Structures are given as structure tokens and as C-alpha cells.
Structure 1
């Protein structure tokens, strides 16, 4: 069965196009016994037949016709994805090199000179149909392989996404934040990175692929909290200085845990590069007063600078078991004080340009009362366990 539509005749189908009735009569007599044959007396009629009927397996096409020339018919067929794979043999009395060059340029597979020599016609037709069978098989195999590659790529991406969210959710179960914090910050990061991608300072750092990887990586920003003791992680009040020093190690713990996973895999993974940057650097500050390294300015990875804005905004507006959420306007006003000290000025200015998108995300992924009650219950249970151990 030859390629074309889902149902093909058993015999190959040929469309013969010539404005001479005598030539069509001759072609019909030579071909109808072996092939299913359709006839067209003009280029326009040929295109009409091809548009409405089952695709032919081969087109025999006169070059010089009244109305649309064979060159133009060929050009149109080769421009369409539906018909570009149909082999075309020109029938022509023009045998000059320039004529053949023109025919090959518009996509002809072969030439047959007029007056038609029957044995040559039959041999050339059989040769082109045989070549088409091989081309169709190869193309179908390639299409199948492309489909399989895309399917497996989607599966691997889905597995990757599920693994990331599972790891992030594991950290969240021990924290006093809700799972929606992960979703909100993930979307904040994407919106902010998209707003920055054409900025002169960031266009070399942010393209569509990098933004997708930042979106994947963002949920792992606090993965290191898994390693922080409950007595500190779940403390509802302010940390004592020594407790805060322990709490700050979640950045290093997060980076190291992701690096360990990458080492176990035995290969570098692009998006994990950003996950490590975000986990390790999202508490750095533009003026160097952050942690764990005290990096200053552009020494802080771009991914971490973007995450810092997203994380602080969400921390301010979100209700926790130990505090009420802050109104959007007040949170933004407080963050303005950190422009140029806590936050990269250009990143913060981009944030001001997408405040409506941040609000939309915060509403879409808002914490429900049930979420907060469940989180409070988890915290209380953990406190009980700590008390019994003590």
C-alpha cells in the first residue's frame, strides 16, 4: 500500500495532465492496463482533481499547456505539505538544458521527451513508482521514530516534573508553609524572568529554554529545610542567634542534596544547575549582607536574584500559622525599601511592572482555610513529638 490517504487502491494511481487529447489517448492506452489512471486536460483541472480526490502516486505533466503551465502546476504541488512528496515526470518537446534546469528547480523527478517512446515511458514510470515506495517507507519510519522520541521526551519530562514536586512537597511537609507557596513562587519566577528576558543586562542569561528550567527548578528552593531540626524549623517565634545560624544552613544543605543526586545520576542535568543556584543563593542580598556567601551584586546568580523577589513577596503576603498575611500594597511598599540593598534594582523594577500578574497568581493559588488548619495540625503534632523526645 502506498502513502497518500488512509485508503489507497491496490494499483498505483497516476494522474496524466496534457492539453492535447491525442496525447491523453496515447497515455491512457499505454498505462490503463497496469495502473489506475486519471486524466486532466489543463493544469487548473489537475489541481482541482488533486485537491478533491485521493492523492495520485505519480503525475505525468505536460510542460507547455494553454493556461497554467506545467512548471506552475509543479511549483504549487511542491509548495504544499500534502502533495510535495508526489513524484512528477515532465512530458515535453523542449529538450534544452535551460528547460531541464527549470524543471528540476521547481521539483520535477524526471523528464520524458516528446514524441513519447512507450518502452521509455513505462520504464521511467515504474522506476519512479518504485522509488516512491522506498521514500514512503523511509518517511513513515522517520515519522514513527519522531513520534516515539516526542512521546518518550514528554514522558521523561513528566517524570522529572513529578519527581521535583515530590521532593519539594517532602520538604514542605516539615515546614510551616503550605504547598501552594511552592506553586506561587514557581509562577512568580516564570513571570519575572519573562519580563526580564529582553532587558540588556539579562538577555544573554534568559531565553525560553532557561525560563522553562527556572520554572522547573523553583520548587526546590527550600529543599534543604529537610535537614533542619524540627525544634528550629517549626519554631513559631523569632530565632535565637544560634538557631538562625542553623536555619541558614538550609541553603547549603539544599545545594549539596541536589549535587548529590546529580552525582548519583552520573551526568550533568541542565535544570539542576539552576536548582542548585536557587537553593544556595536565594537568600543572598544585592549589597552583600545576605547568606550563605555574602555575595555582592552581579556575583549573585540571576536565577537566585529572581527567586529572592518571588520568595520575599510570597512570604509577606501569605498567612502562616504564626502570622496573618500582609496586604499586597503594604508588602510592595516594604519591598521598595530593599531596592538596591536586598534586591537587584533592575529585577525589582521588572517586578513592579508585573504586579498585576503576581496578584493574579496569588489569587489563583491562594491557601484555603483547610490548608492552614492541616498545616497547623501538622506543626502541633510535630511539636508534640519534640516535647515527648525532650
Structure 2
């Protein structure tokens, strides 16, 4: 434990220092010297501080320490004269933890110092324990994030193995989701909703939007032609399959992890339409969860721009005109507006990852 004794009286400094010979002590004759010592010896635990000093008085020292967070752990006992009650109150209000009056009562001062050093030791122990807990929490958080990401990649891998989706479709939709969200958050209506944390969840869970398709038979899923009415009804079940795959009876609504909630909203609502003609619930307007409204336009855009077993790739102009035409019908008009504002940047994502796919196949 290090104790700094600050007093312009050499006699008082000597008396206090001799009383504390079993501690590591430093001395200063005024506030300026004290601040220089603190700068070079940052691990001081306790300061015994006279208030009435030349150059820089005790009040100024306390205020300087208060203004610098790295010195907030130094406990200060102020020394006052017997009739300086106002100074005692002022010093305590500024941040001192205790006071002792002059002429010094050595026994009283020693008891108070011992008490505050014990409190400081307890404080240090709490800080060390908190650091260990923070480290453990950080480690567990990283493990949970890794587990989440591995699980998502494994689930998406099932789609890729069955040739339901390409790896580049996953990359494109994630990058478009990020770009669209980052753009929308600049707008007043989204700035408080699309936080950095929420955007990260949306981007991370985007690849799961069609995970339920693993439950659809190949003769329907990979059919090169148009689906019959009966086949289409079976295909629509992929939404419920995906939601059920993510739901877990171990969690109630209050304790379900937020990223699972986001994933369920993406999976369960990305085929809803703004005018209420979508599925599975026929939700209307903003009753459709935001992740579903975002995923709807991203998924349709990428589907139109990409070749599928049942259709060729359509051009960018056709795709943009389709999105414009479906504003207020299939898509949320506000999201369409934001999408169109960055359509050229989105096209660059499509071009980049289609080219990479061609290179991989070459």
C-alpha cells in the first residue's frame, strides 16, 4: 500500500511519516509537488492532504484528481484546522472520504488510515474479481457466438449440399442486407431501430431465410418447370418447417435469445406481402416484422437476378422495374425507396459475386 502525505508543514509530514513507517510513504510540500508525484507514481492508494497550502491548495488537488478518471481510486483524507468546518464539508463534497483536524491526534489518524486502507484492499479485491468475471463472460460470449455461427453455417450447408442455394447467394444476400440496413439507419424512422447490434443480427441470420426448404421433396424443390397448385402449397410449407427448426421448447418468449427471435422473424415473414396477400399468415403492412420486410425485397431481387432451375436470370433493369411496380403491394414502400437509392451499389454486389462463382466453376 502506498500513502502520499501532502502538507506544507515539515513537522506534520515528519510526524505522519514516522507514524506510518510500516507503510510505503511518499511526501510532498504542496499541491504542485503532489500532482507531479501522482503522475510518476500512479499506484498511490491513499492521500493525506492538507487543505491550506501555497502554490496549489488541497481543494485544487482534489478537483484535479476528480477531473481525471485514472486517479479516481485514490482515497483522500483531508487535514483541516479545528475551526474549519466549512472547509471539511467542501472537501468531502469534492470527493474526500474522511477528514482529521489539526493539531493531529495521532492515534485517531492511524485508526482512520487503517480503516481506509482495509476498505481500499476490499475495493481492489472486488475489482480483481470483476475483471475475472468479465474475462469469463467474454470467453463464454465468444464461445456462444462461435457456436451460433457454426450452427448457422451447418444449417446453410444443408441447403448448399442439396443444390438448393449456392454459396454466393448466401454471401450476396448478407452483403445486401448489411448495405440496405446501413443506408436505412440514416433515415429518421430507422435510426433508433437499426442499431449496430441489430444490423449484425440481421446479417448473421439472413442465410437462414430458406432453411425450411430442406424439408421439401426434391421433385418439387428442384422441379425445372412451373409448380402445380398442389406442389406450390407443399412448397409454402418451407416457412413453417424453418420456424419449427429454430423454435426450442426450452425457451419461453421472454428468455429466447434475440438472434433466434430475429432469425424466426426472417424465416417466418419473408414471404409475407405488404398488401396482405402473402403467406403463411397474410400479415399486412408494418404488422409484418421488419426482418421479414427487409428479407422479402432482398430475396426477390437476388432470385430475379440469378439463374434458377425453373427460370433464367433476368436483367437488372427488369428487376428494378418489378420492385418499383410491387412497392406497396409485395414490398414496404419505405424500404423500396431506400433500396432504389442504393441500387447501383447493390448491383455491384451482384456483379462481383456472380463473377466469383464463374471463376470457381471454370
* TM-score, length-scaled by structure 1: 0.82
Q: Identify the residue that residue 7 of structure 2 maps to in structure 1.
A: 18
CA contact (8 A) 1:176 1:320 kept: no
Q: Provide the residue aligned with 2:158 in structure 1.
A: 170
Determine if contact 2:177/2:298 at 8 Å carries over to the other structure.
yes
Task: Describe the SS at the equivalent of 2:5.
Answer: strand
Residue 61, structure 1, aligned to residue 53, structure 2: no
Task: For residue 89 of structure 1, report the CA deviation from its aligned partner.
Answer: 1.1
Q: CA deviation at 1:137?
A: 0.9
In the TM superposition, what is the alpha-carbon distance from 1:356 to its structure 2 partner? Answer: 4.7
Deviation string 1:141-177 (CA, Å, 9 cap, x unpaired) is: 1221122122212221221122122212212322342
2:236 corresponding residue in structure 1: 248
Q: What is the rounded CA distance, in whole Å, between the counterparts of 1:364 and 1:99 in structure 2?
A: 71
> Deviation at 1:90?
0.9
Alpha carbons 1:74, 1:107 under 8 Å: kept: yes
- Tell me the distance in 2 between the aligned counterparts of 1:335 and 1:372: 30
**The residue matched to 2:201 in structure 1 has which SS?**
helix
How far the C-alpha of 1:314 sits from its partner, in A, is: 1.6
Paired with 2:28 and 2:129, the residues of 1 have a C-alpha distance of 33
1:277 matched to 2:258? The reply is no
The reply on whether 1:90 has 2:78 as its aligned counterpart is: yes
Distance 1:359 1:144 in 2: 48
Q: How far does residue 197 in structure 1 lie from its aligned partner after superposition? A: 4.3
Q: What is aligned with 1:213?
A: 201
Of stretches 55-64 and 205-214 in structure 1, the one that deviates more from structure 2 is 205-214
Offset from partner CA, 1:289-312 (integer Å, 9 cap, x none): 333344332332222111011111
Map 1:45-60 → 2, pairs under 5 A: 45-60=33-48
Q: Which residue of 2 aligns with 1:313?
A: 301
Question: In the alignment, which residue of structure 1 is the partner of 2:322?
Answer: 334
1:369 to 338, 355, 358: 358
Scaled by the length of structure 2, what TM-score is found?
0.87
Q: Which residue of 2 aligns with 1:239?
A: 227
8 A contact 2:6–2:27 mirrored in 1: yes
Deviates more, 1:116-125 or 1:42-51: 116-125
The match for 2:287 is 299
Alpha-carbon separation, structure 2, partners of 1:216 and 1:50: 47
| C-alpha displacement of 1:127 | 2.1
**In the alignment, is residue 263 of structure 1 matched against residue 249 of structure 2?**
yes
Gaps in structure 1 of 5+ consecutive residues: 1-11, 374-390
State how many pairs are aligned: 359
Query: 1:385 matched to which residue of 2?
Result: none
Q: CA separation in 1, counterparts of 2:295 and 2:11?
A: 77
User: In 1, distance between residues paired with 2:320 and 2:125?
Assistant: 61
Aligned-residue RMSD, C-alpha = 2.7
Q: Is the 8 A contact 1:91 1:112 kept in 2?
A: yes
Aligned pair partner of 2:135 in 129, 147, 150: 147
**Cα deviation per residue 1:272-325 (whole Å; 9 max; x = unaligned)?**
233222222212222333333443323322221110111112223335567664
Distance 1:72 1:253 in 2: 68
Deviation at 1:94, TM superposition (A): 5.6
- Which residue does the alignment assign to 1:42? 30
Aligned equivalents of 1:297 and 1:263: distance in 2? 30
CA distance in 2, matches of 1:26, 1:129: 19
The CA deviation string for residues 223-248 of structure 1, in whole angstroms up to 9 with x for no partner, is: 11001111221223333443333222
Q: Secondary structure at the match of 2:78?
A: strand
Structure 2: runs of 5+ lacking an equivalent: none
Q: 1:59 to 1:202 in 2, by over 3 A?
A: closer
Kept after mapping to 2: 8 A contact 1:205/1:302: no
Provide closer, same or farther for how the CA distance between residues 216 and 263 of structure 1 changes in structure 2, counting only shifts above 3 A: farther
